[in-house]
A and B are shown apart, each in its own frame.
Chain A
Amino acid sequence: MSASVGPIADQLIALLPRLRRFARVLISNPHEADDLVQVAIERATTHFNQWRPGIPLESWLFGILRNAWLDQNRARRPSEGPMQRHSLAAGMEQLPEDQRLVVALVLVEGLAYKEAAEVLEVPMNTLSSRLARARATLEALLGGREAG
């Protein structure tokens, strides 16, 4: 038995912190990351008749944000503002897009492989191998430094 779910706006608001974190993994500049979240929210509110309540709302939103990011990258501009100094964020900037997405969904947002694969619309073994490659790249870039 489940608690009653709030109207969609309330659920969206509650998910804003996670969406902002997801965007910040993809875009290190906080203002630009928030711009991406805003575009994603606007697309979601326009198209929410396409959301089927059987899909978790956050999966649907992550998918929208990912598509908006990929669209944005087609007209790629150098990012404004200072780069984060933390070595992990700098390493993330060097990953190719598809590896960055798997890292963001699995290692930051904590989605299970199955959920992440659904968001990205890839088979699970593709997800798993991309994740392995991403981690190997990051471990090499960070020089095998231990977590601080």
Chain B
Amino acid sequence: MTLSDEILMAYADGELDSEQRSEVEAAMALDPDIARRVEEHRAMRKQFSSTYDRVLLETVPDRLVAAARQTSSRSPTETVSELKKAGATVTDLRRVRAARKAEAAEAAAAVRRSQPPRPPWGWFEWGAMAVSLAIGAVFAYLIIQSPPNERFVTERGQLVARADLDLALSHQLASDPIPASAVRIGVSFRSKSGNHCRTFLVKEAQPVGGLACRAGGEWQIQVLANAERSAAPDGGYQQIGAEMPTAVLAAAQNLIAGEPFNAEAEIAARERGWEK
């Protein structure tokens, strides 16, 4: 039996219903050539993943985030008249390109000016935290020495957030979770040294939970631990289906000055870029 390439591709793409799948699988069992063709289609899919999925882990340029944030201040009816008033010509590719080049030139000039040194994480706080955490929690942090992917990068001995985790910590609100995001924000608060800190869960095959604090223009990871999958996810972490690790909760409790942020305080802190 010859099955068309289209059907075999659809099978490899998971598009067939169970009856059709059985037919293809029966044919695959009888004809190694058919099995080979299906495998080739799967292999090509994997090749696409390995070529393009890394784009997801890149830092998103600020100009795109800024463009996306233009939606928050507009209501649908205001939008068009606003733009007419501003004399803006949207969708002009040449303008976008020119603006990008100007931005790049300015960024290069800024780099040539002296860069401020990154402040290291406060010794007082790290000491206080290490003493307060249960031994198990400290080991949990140490176990995750080689983080699962480019979300966690070591810079000058400090673990920092990158990729979509960096994006989520800077922009997501615990009060308004994003179904599309692999990151779920827990609580946000000010630490005893005045830095902004946030707990988070990352949806992975092995979910991880952590605590990050804003310092030196980036999110420094203070605690990272494997998260238990919860069989009956509680309402707060429904999207991830995992529970915030005890190590993270303990660290947050020890660091926090005052109360966790409510929705308004979260929004206000975000508007200030999470700076002190």
B2 contacts A by Cβ under 8 Å: no
B56 lies within 8 A of A21 (CB): yes
Using an 8 Å CB-CB cutoff, how does the interface string of A109-148 with B read, 1 for contact, 0 for none? Answer: 0001100000000000000110110011011000010111
Complex Cα spacing A84 to B99, Å: 25
B interface list, Cβ under 8 A from A = 4-6, 9-10, 13, 15, 40-41, 43-53, 55-58, 60-61, 63-65, 67-72, 74, 76-77, 79-80, 83, 90-91, 93, 96-97, 100, 163-164, 167-168, 171-173, 176-181, 238-239
B93 lies within 8 A of A14 (CB): no
Residues on the A chain within 8 Å of B10, using CB:
113, 128
- A16-B47 contact, Cβ under 8 Å, with A35-B97, A39-B93, A45-B71: no
Q: In the complex, given contacts A2-B179, A9-B72, A108-B49, what are 7 additional A-B residue pairs having Cβ atoms less than 8 angstroms apart?
A: A6-B178, A13-B60, A14-B167, A14-B178, A24-B55, A132-B4, A136-B5
Query: Which residues of A14-28 have CB atoms within 8 Å of chain B's CB atoms?
Result: 14-18, 20-21, 24-25
Residues on the B chain within 8 Å of A108, using CB:
48-49, 52
24 interchain pairs, CB-CB under 8 A = A3-B179, A4-B177, A7-B176, A9-B69, A13-B60, A20-B55, A34-B100, A41-B64, A41-B68, A44-B71, A45-B74, A46-B83, A48-B76, A57-B180, A88-B47, A88-B48, A103-B48, A107-B45, A132-B4, A136-B5, A138-B44, A139-B40, A144-B40, A147-B47
Residues on the A chain within 8 Å of B77, using CB:
49
User: Closest 4 CB pairs between A and B?
Assistant: A49-B76, A6-B176, A12-B68, A147-B47
Complex Cα spacing A28 to B5, Å: 28
Complex Cα spacing A103 to B43, Å: 14
